[in-house]
Structure 1
Amino acid sequence: INPVTIAHRGVNQKNGVPNTLESLKKTIKYHPDYIEMDVHMTKDNKFIVLHDNNLKKLAGIKAHPEDLTLAELKKLNVTANNHQTKLTDFDTYLKYANQHHQKLLIELKTTPNNATNFANIFAKRYYANIIENHHQLHTLDFQTLMILQNDIPKGNLNYLMPYNLTIPEENIHAYGMRYSTLSPDFVAINRQKHKLVYAWTPNSRLAINKALSLGVNGIVTDNVSQLHVAIKEAQHWSDAERLLQVLLYS
């Protein structure tokens, strides 16, 4: 039991506004293997670090990221978890992560209003950087994944699937799956196919133990400090204790 640890949206225990440079700086100190973060394209075909497709929740305005230029987006105050800061452009976020040898798990957020060559633009601009610094990419959109496979053939590309109903046969590095829908069979089948499974987003200790008992390859969580503790304890489980965990959560 030794999954890679992944800090969801770059935070740990609500230590900042998700997907911002300020929270990245704090969360790096917990030494996750990867920091997961989200990228949207802006009106001027640049990239902003942001999860939601609407700025209402974080910034209090009714607008989509693709409605504004990068300069306009960076002027906005965003608030979450009792913290306030500014949005961060992807170039700045990426540069800081590279300087601190922090690997990223980058989600490309697709919307109907994106430029049709959105994924191509991203791949062309960041291909060398992603390969050199061992970052990973993932997306919920299968068409975007296929474009990235063509444009970044040597990259580690992951497919996010809300439910484990099917297993696509394409050359995919890993599958991201909601932890509550995972089963021992799904993990075992992917292991046989030499594919990785990342569990999303167990935050309580019970949920983390469920993911650990299934033997997943990575865990994406909002509480990476707790995950580190849970992994150390799980490595000392006896066979009987691990079986008990599987039975409890299956």
Structure 2
Amino acid sequence: MTLIFAHRGFSSIEPENTMSAFQEAEKCGADGIELDVQLTKDGEVVVIHDEKVDRTTNGKGYVKDYTLSELQQLNAHYIFKKQNEKVRIPTLKEVFDWLAGNHLICNVEIKSHEFQQFHLEEKVIAFIRRYGFEKRVILSSFNHYSIVHCYRLAPDVETALLYSYGIYLPWVYAKGLHARAIHPHYQTLTEEIVQMSRQNGIKVRPYTVNREKDMKRLFAMGCDAIITDEPKKALRLRQSDGQSFSS
């Protein structure tokens, strides 16, 4: 069965990478969530996508230049500015506290491609160990040096390679880096890549799949999961496609 991961939570109806987006993903029945992590000025692991806070909050500047206390004074309302309640940037600890009460899979994307985030991988893995989430967390990144570092720190935690352009024999490349999955942009995927990757023990979870025709195509290919802003739509299509947990 193709699993449904909510991209930055249910981000089409709630501000991305916030607790409300993650909670709505659980309510709609998603199998997992995807989120992004960075370090604050004082070394705290926070959940936010961009290196700058400008797009998703009412603040300006780089995440790395804010302390946690300063970051959490911002309103992370993103495009949902009509909401009356203030929306905070969550910490990874807050998300893991919440995950301890459910069974969702969590894909943690390590954001370390623009700035070197010293010890980000170590801190994320320490949280995984603390909560016993070794089998529930997937570590992904566009920075493949980071993926290798994660594998060396925690070979028992699944790692996945993010990429947006075509890679020759991606299943071979993934195995060479000890990654257990590839998370490609959905437009780079062919049936051969999905089949050969899975035959070689590499899971395939494309991103960010929002259109019905793309969802149907990737379900038919047998992808292990899709990452989407529209988990409710994906779940409806999966059910109509006849996929079940016994398949």
- Smaller-chain TM-score bracket: 0.7 to 0.9
1:173 aligned partner: 180
Tell me if the contact between 2:121 and 2:150 (Cα under 8 Å) persists in the aligned partners.
yes
CA offsets per residue over residues 36-60 of structure 1, 9 Å max, x none? 1111111111111101111111223
Do structure 1's residue 5 and structure 2's residue 36 form an aligned pair?
A: no
Instruction: Say yes or no: does 1:23 pair with 2:21.
Output: yes
1:92-141 deviation line (CA, Å, top 9, x unaligned): 11111222232211111115444433322332343342535622111111
Q: What residue is the counterpart of 1:244 in the other structure?
A: none
d(CA) in 1 for partners of 2:223 and 2:199? Answer: 13
CA distance in 2: counterparts of 1:76 and 1:142, whole angstroms: 31
> CA 1:178/1:112 → structure 2, altered by over 3 Å: closer, same or farther?
closer
Amino acid at match of 2:97: K
After superposition, residues 148-163 of structure 1 pair within 5 angstroms as 148-163=150-165
Aligned twin of 2:90:
88
Q: Give TM-score, length-normalised by structure 1.
A: 0.87
Judging changes above 3 Å, is the alpha-carbon distance between structure 1 residues 130 and 63 closer, same or farther for their aligned structure 2 residues?
A: farther
Instruction: Look up the SS of the partner of 2:209 in the other structure.
Output: coil
Q: Would you say the 8 A contact 2:113–2:142 is kept in 1?
A: no
Give the residue type in structure 2 aligned to 1:103. I
Which structure 2 residues correspond to residues 188-227 of structure 1 after superposition, within 5 A?
A: 188-227=195-234
Any gaps of 5 or more consecutive residues in structure 2? none
Structure 1 residue runs of 4+, over 4 Å off? none
Determine the structure 2 residue equivalent to 1:247: none
Paired letter, 2:20: E
> For each residue in 1:23-79, what CA deviation from the matched residue of structure 2 results, as whole angstroms up to 9, or x when unmatched?
222221112111111111111111111011111112233311111111111111122
Q: State the AA in 2 paired with 1:235.
A: G
Identity across aligned pairs (percent)?
21
Aligned partner of 1:94: which letter? F
- Aligned partner of 2:192: which letter? D
Q: Following the alignment from structure 1 to structure 2, what is the Cα–Cα distance between the partners of residues 170 and 156?
A: 12
Query: Which has a greater percent of helix?
Result: 1
Larger Rg: 1
Counterpart amino acid of residue 95 in structure 2: Y
Pair 1:40-2:38 in alignment:
yes
Match of 2:146 among 139, 144, 147: 144
What residue in structure 2 maps to residue 126 of structure 1? 128
- In structure 2, how many angstroms separate the alpha carbons of the residues matched to 1:215 and 1:163? 21
When the two chains are superposed, the root-mean-square deviation of aligned CA atoms in Å is 1.8
Specify the SS of the correspondent of 1:106: strand
Q: For residues 172 and 19 of structure 1, what CA distance do their matches in structure 2 show? A: 25
**Alpha-carbon distance between aligned partners in 2 of 1:222 and 1:59, rounded to the nearest angstrom:** 19
SS at the partner of 2:183?
A: strand
TM (normalized to structure 2)? 0.88
Structure (1/2) with the larger strand percentage: 1
